[in-house]
């Protein structure tokens, strides 16, 4: 399967790694929307939130654990940050490998939609 983020996880496409463990990979977004803009992705390919089930949802909790850890390390845990996952066309999802944007380091736009 041809998937950009699977290729990044494998190292076939370069990325700026921020964190890695057995189940997740985190790297800097190539087009940052904020001073801190990290993408946290499960290593196992899931296309979007639509693929989350009772069997695999543990990785989502782990991703939030990693988001909290990275927010602390990157110095935004007290100033504030946002974790976002776009699902499908109306949300503007462009890469169909489930990912969570960790955004912070500035006053973020408050609009939710």
Residues with a known catalytic role: 99
Q: Which of 3, 49, 87, 108 binds Zn ion (CB under 5 A)?
A: 3
CB 49 within 8 A of CB 13: no
Print the binding letters for residues 12-51 with ligand 5GP: x by CB under 6 A, - otherwise: ---x-----------xxxxx-------x------------
Query: Which one, of 61, 59, 80, lies nearest residue 71 by Cα?
Result: 80
**Closer of 6 and 49 to Zn ion (Cβ):** 6
Distance CA 111, CA 22 (A): 35
**Closer of 55 and 92 to ligand 5GP (Cβ):** 92
Q: Find which of ligand 5GP, Zn ion, none residue 94 binds, CB within 5 to 8 Å per kind.
A: ligand 5GP
Distance CA 26, CA 22 (A): 12
Instruction: Write the DSSP symbol of residue 22.
Output: S
């Amino acid at each position: 399967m041809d998937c950009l983020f699977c290729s990044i996880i494998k190292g076939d496409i370069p990325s700026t790694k921020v964190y890695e463990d057995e189940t997740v990979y985190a790297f800097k977004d190539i087009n940052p929307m904020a001073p801190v803009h990290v993408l946290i992705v499960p290593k196992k390919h899931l296309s979007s939130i639509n693929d989350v089930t009772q069997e695999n949802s543990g990785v989502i909790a782990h991703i939030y654990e990693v988001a909290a850890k990275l927010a602390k390390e990157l110095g935004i845990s007290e100033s504030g940050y946002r974790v976002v996952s776009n699902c499908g066309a109306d949300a503007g999802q462009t890469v169909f490998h489930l990912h969570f944007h960790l955004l912070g380091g500035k006053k973020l736009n408050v609009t939710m939609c």
